[in-house]
A and B are shown apart, each in its own frame.
Chain A
């Protein structure tokens, strides 16, 4: 994986020093809270209901054991002994004191980490496919391209005060495991045939997003030669910076600009700017991508057994549910569920982080991933080692065999932490996963992605859930709207609302009813989403309100 050189380290160190200075000026009264706010936000520091929240960047979700151990230490030293992994592959700490923030950033810098641009109206941490570098189906490893973008977007002088935040995802497979088309810019690295066996380039999608006006990003360019990759991104951003709306923060995301101009007109403006920027010359030297890519060379995989001993049914179930095909046939990627039935989605204790760090060191070439589903992942596990890995995870309460099932719920922090929330998300997620685990329905239902947001901002991706739940405020009473049929994957779609909302007990019952309809109607091999798409909303409505 990528290692900082002296330059990268100096940039992060400079940022820590700059933030210390800003915090000092805030304390000396030279900065008002209004002036300080965007500066602390650019360092990931939010003010929440009860305390400051610090969001730490995990670029494209990749980290090593030393880094995860530091995250565990920080959870213990400065928080309450746990951290929360997010849908953008980052980690958040919910109980931070302003006085400690600069020290935490300094600790992070010691392990090549930071909280730069994890909030604020700038280009945020670049996310990617969590199986990058391991998946059997990828064209190339997308992370070198994401790293090139990380460097380009870090402290970008022109794009620090954009109309609104800006999120980019980079993938390199037909499969989309990063919700790529629900990002402000989504990039798919592709290869097209040429004489020398395939030329690498980038597809650009622009104007996707969730929030109150969910939109799926349209394709704006189907092949940008890789030697113009950064130039094209710069053109996309410049058009947005100049013409994105600034009169209304709810209409300030790029999706509104693309929607109001139309994709064709936005694209035309980008192409014009692109042609201009090509003549200016903003692309990094070509050798830089090669230098970065060398950091992502495959580890030394060795041959070995390709099957496991399935005599222990618990182990066999976990293997079936939580492992993913690897490009080397003696390996798999192993998903570490942070969704124990009844648990808080995405939370991990310092102790659990240390267990995972140790396993990564011992069994996965010292590499780890954070998944956008708020789970962790060991990308390269020898099939021969799977039983040992599973046993250690099981002992730490980390072996729930529920990847992509209804227990694998994405939930935002909701009313338990968030000052914008209408309703609680976490307790609802806990009750639903508990209920399905108890009744044994989880396995029967199979793949079913449930996503919960505590308000219209959609941090919990409810628009993209096979089942989505949105907390709304109904005359001061928590109320939940149910929607069906969304997907964040390559078959991307936006969920549709079923009808009137429910109270907390009611929405749990409604989720069960909806799965009843599915079980009664499904054809051979159909997932919940497939059945919904085939039979439509009516039968579900009938069951819910009929």
Chain B
């Protein structure tokens, strides 16, 4: 069994899911591809999220690590997983700040375990930043253009 490299449920500060939080061992992408029974995996910025596509059915938790908030590769990784139909928990971990929350939410993250706990009020305001959005993304929100052209 590979070493658990993930966050624990009590490190999760925000979660937008109803299901039971998983507390399984989290493994690296390499380990996940080699090992048929892992249900939780952590993606580092340099990992190719598409390597996980064959295993999405068995995964219940994907953590995407942001060692530095300004390394934006994790946003693409998140959308790629959602576009491939992944419906399990997608957790942003690491250097996650208030000002990243609204974009992360749009890219499909539904749980957040920031290194440093965030001010609840600031975070609530951040999650609500955009009443409307311009682009289609993983959250499937109707865009401004969609609304403009509604019959």
The answer, yes or no, to whether B30 is at the interface (CB within 8 Å) is no
Q: Are B103 and A157 in contact (CB under 8 A)?
A: yes
Q: Are B145 and A38 in contact (CB under 8 A)?
A: no
Instruction: Tell me whether A7 and B75 are in contact in the complex, defined as CB-CB below 8 angstroms, given that A30-B122, A121-B70, A288-B145 are known contacts.
Output: no
Closest residue of chain B to A5 (Cβ to Cβ) is: B148
Chain A positions 144-186 with a Cβ under 8 Å from a chain B Cβ: 151-152, 154-162
The answer, yes or no, to whether A242 is at the interface (CB within 8 Å) is yes
> In the complex, which residues of chain A have a beta carbon less than 8 angstroms from the beta carbon of B146?
284-285
The answer, yes or no, to whether A246 is at the interface (CB within 8 Å) is yes
The answer, yes or no, to whether A281 is at the interface (CB within 8 Å) is yes
The answer, yes or no, to whether B107 is at the interface (CB within 8 Å) is yes
Chain B positions 120-150 with a Cβ under 8 Å from a chain A Cβ: 122, 125, 129-137, 143-149
Q: Are A285 and B145 in contact (CB under 8 A)?
A: yes
A-contact bits for B82-122, CB 8 A (1 contact / 0 none): 01000000000000011100111011000000000001001
Instruction: Tell me whether A158 and B134 are in contact in the complex, defined as CB-CB below 8 angstroms, given that A238-B76, A291-B148 are known contacts.
Output: no
The answer, yes or no, to whether A282 is at the interface (CB within 8 Å) is yes
Q: Are B75 and A157 in contact (CB under 8 A)?
A: yes
> In the complex, which residues of chain B have a beta carbon less than 8 angstroms from the beta carbon of A280?
83, 136
Stretch from A10-18, A126-134, A360-368, A438-446 that touches the partner: A10-18
Instruction: Tell me whether A291 and B136 are in contact in the complex, defined as CB-CB below 8 angstroms, given that A35-B97, A158-B107 are known contacts.
Output: no
Q: Are B72 and A159 in contact (CB under 8 A)?
A: yes
Interface centre among A10, A30, A155, A158 (most CB of B within 10 A): A158
Instruction: Tell me whether A7 and B144 are in contact in the complex, defined as CB-CB below 8 angstroms, given that A155-B133, A155-B134, A158-B137 are known contacts.
Output: yes
Instruction: Tell me whether A161 and B70 are in contact in the complex, defined as CB-CB below 8 angstroms, given that A22-B99, A25-B122, A151-B145 are known contacts.
Output: yes
Interface centre among B71, B119, B125, B130 (most CB of A within 10 A): B130
Complex Cα gap A157–B126 (Å): 13
Q: Are B125 and A246 in contact (CB under 8 A)?
A: no
Complex Cα gap A484–B73 (Å): 40
Total count of chain A residues near the partner, CB < 8 A:
40
Chain B positions 60-83 with a Cβ under 8 Å from a chain A Cβ: 69-73, 75-77, 79, 83
> In the complex, which residues of chain A have a beta carbon less than 8 angstroms from the beta carbon of B132?
7, 10-11
The answer, yes or no, to whether A97 is at the interface (CB within 8 Å) is no
Q: Are B134 and A242 in contact (CB under 8 A)?
A: no
Interface centre among A22, A156, A242, A291 (most CB of B within 10 A): A242
Interface centre among A21, A22, A161, A246 (most CB of B within 10 A): A161
Q: Are A157 and B135 in contact (CB under 8 A)?
A: yes
**Nearest chain B CB to A155's CB is how many angstroms away?**
7
Task: Name the contact of A288 in the complex, choosing from B70, B72, B73, B149 (C-beta under 8 A).
Answer: B149
> In the complex, which residues of chain B have a beta carbon less than 8 angstroms from the beta carbon of A11?
130, 132, 134, 144
**Nearest chain B CB to A237's CB is how many angstroms away?**
9
Complex Cα gap A18–B83 (Å): 29
Q: Are B149 and A151 in contact (CB under 8 A)?
A: no
Instruction: Tell me whether A287 and B144 are in contact in the complex, defined as CB-CB below 8 angstroms, given that A30-B119, A152-B134, A158-B107 are known contacts.
Output: no
Q: Are A14 and B97 in contact (CB under 8 A)?
A: no
Task: Name the contact of A38 in the complex, choosing from B70, B143, B147 (C-beta under 8 A).
Answer: B70
The answer, yes or no, to whether A498 is at the interface (CB within 8 Å) is no
Complex Cα gap A181–B106 (Å): 32
Task: Name the contact of A156 in the complex, choosing from B45, B135, B145 (C-beta under 8 A).
Answer: B135
The answer, yes or no, to whether A241 is at the interface (CB within 8 Å) is yes
**Nearest chain B CB to A144's CB is how many angstroms away?**
13
**Nearest chain B CB to A88's CB is how many angstroms away?**
21
Q: Are A281 and B136 in contact (CB under 8 A)?
A: yes
Q: Are A157 and B107 in contact (CB under 8 A)?
A: yes
The answer, yes or no, to whether A39 is at the interface (CB within 8 Å) is yes
Q: Are A154 and B134 in contact (CB under 8 A)?
A: yes
Task: Name the contact of A14 in the complex, choosing from B75, B99, B131 (C-beta under 8 A).
Answer: B131
Chain A positions 268-297 with a Cβ under 8 Å from a chain B Cβ: 276, 280-285, 287-288, 291
Closest residue of chain A to B105 (Cβ to Cβ) is: A157
A-contact bits for B39-54, CB 8 A (1 contact / 0 none): 0000001000000000
Complex Cα gap A241–B70 (Å): 12
> In the complex, which residues of chain A have a beta carbon less than 8 angstroms from the beta carbon of B137?
157-158, 282
Q: Are B107 and A288 in contact (CB under 8 A)?
A: no
Q: Are B99 and A39 in contact (CB under 8 A)?
A: yes
Instruction: Tell me whether A241 and B72 are in contact in the complex, defined as CB-CB below 8 angstroms, given that A22-B99, A285-B149, A288-B148 are known contacts.
Output: yes
Instruction: Tell me whether A152 and B148 are in contact in the complex, defined as CB-CB below 8 angstroms, given that A14-B130, A242-B73 are known contacts.
Output: no
Closest residue of chain B to A7 (Cβ to Cβ) is: B144
Q: Are B70 and A284 in contact (CB under 8 A)?
A: no
Complex Cα gap A335–B109 (Å): 50
Closest residue of chain B to A246 (Cβ to Cβ) is: B71
> In the complex, which residues of chain A have a beta carbon less than 8 angstroms from the beta carbon of B130?
11, 14, 155
Going nearest first, the 3 A-B pairs with the smallest beta carbon separation are A161-B72, A157-B106, A157-B103
Please give the residue numbers on chain A whose beta carbons come within 8 Å of chain B beta carbons, in ascending order.
5, 7-8, 10-11, 14, 18, 21-22, 25, 30, 35, 38-39, 121, 151-152, 154-162, 238, 241-242, 246, 276, 280-285, 287-288, 291
12 CB-based A-B contacts, threshold 8 Å: A10-B131, A14-B131, A38-B70, A157-B103, A157-B133, A160-B72, A161-B69, A161-B75, A241-B75, A276-B83, A280-B83, A285-B146
Q: A157-B102, A161-B69 are in contact. List 17 more A-B contacts (CB 8 A).
A: A8-B144, A14-B129, A14-B131, A18-B129, A25-B98, A38-B69, A155-B134, A156-B135, A160-B72, A161-B70, A161-B71, A242-B76, A242-B77, A281-B136, A282-B135, A284-B145, A291-B149
